[in-house]
Amino acid sequence: MYAPLLVQIRTNSLVRLNTLVLFVVVYTDWMLMPLVAKLEGLYLPVYMISLFMLLSASDGIIQPFFKEVRLKIVFYFSALLDLAQIGVYALFWIDPELFTYTILVFFTLQAVTFEVARIHTIDWFQDDVELKPFLMLRSAVISGATIAGTLFTMLFDYFGGDARWLLLLASGLGVAGIMLQLRLGYRFGRKEALLTSPAAAP
Among 121-130, 157-166, 179-188, whose mean pLDDT is lowest? 121-130
Confidence of residue 132 (pLDDT cuts 50, 70, 90): confident
pLDDT score at 165: 93
Mean pLDDT over 92-97 rounds to 92
**Residues sharing a CB contact under 8 Å with residue 194, sequence separation 6 or more, in sequence order:** 200
Q: Which of 27, 200, 14 is nearest to 121 (CA)?
A: 14
CA dihedral 171, 176, 179, 182 (to 10 degrees): -80
Does residue 59 sit within a domain? no
Question: Residues of the chain with pLDDT > 70: what percent?
Answer: 90
Does residue 91 sit within a domain? yes
Does residue 198 sit within a domain? no
**Cα–Cα separations (whole angstroms), residue 29 to 24, 44, 126, 187:** 9, 19, 28, 24
Does residue 168 sit within a domain? yes
Q: Which of 138, 123, 107, 133 is nearest to 28 (CA)?
A: 107
Does residue 33 sit within a domain? no
- State the Cα–Cα distance between residues 101 and 76, nearest whole angstrom: 24
**Residues sharing a CB contact under 8 Å with residue 31, sequence separation 6 or more, in sequence order:** 149, 150, 152, 153, 166, 169, 170, 173
Mean pLDDT over 119-144 rounds to 77
Confidence of residue 4 (pLDDT cuts 50, 70, 90): low
What is the 8-class DSSP label of residue 127? T
Query: Could you report how far apart the first and last alpha carbons of the chain are, in Å?
Result: 39
Mean pLDDT over 44-69 rounds to 78
Confidence of residue 151 (pLDDT cuts 50, 70, 90): very high
pLDDT surpassing 60 at residue 202? no
Domains of the chain: total: 1
Task: Name the residue range of residue 90's domain.
Answer: 67-192
Q: Which of 1, 27, 15, 3 is nearest to 134 (CA)?
A: 15
Does residue 100 sit within a domain? yes
Does residue 51 sit within a domain? no
Does residue 3 sit within a domain? no
pLDDT score at 201: 46
pLDDT score at 83: 95
Confidence of residue 188 (pLDDT cuts 50, 70, 90): confident
Residue type, 126: Q
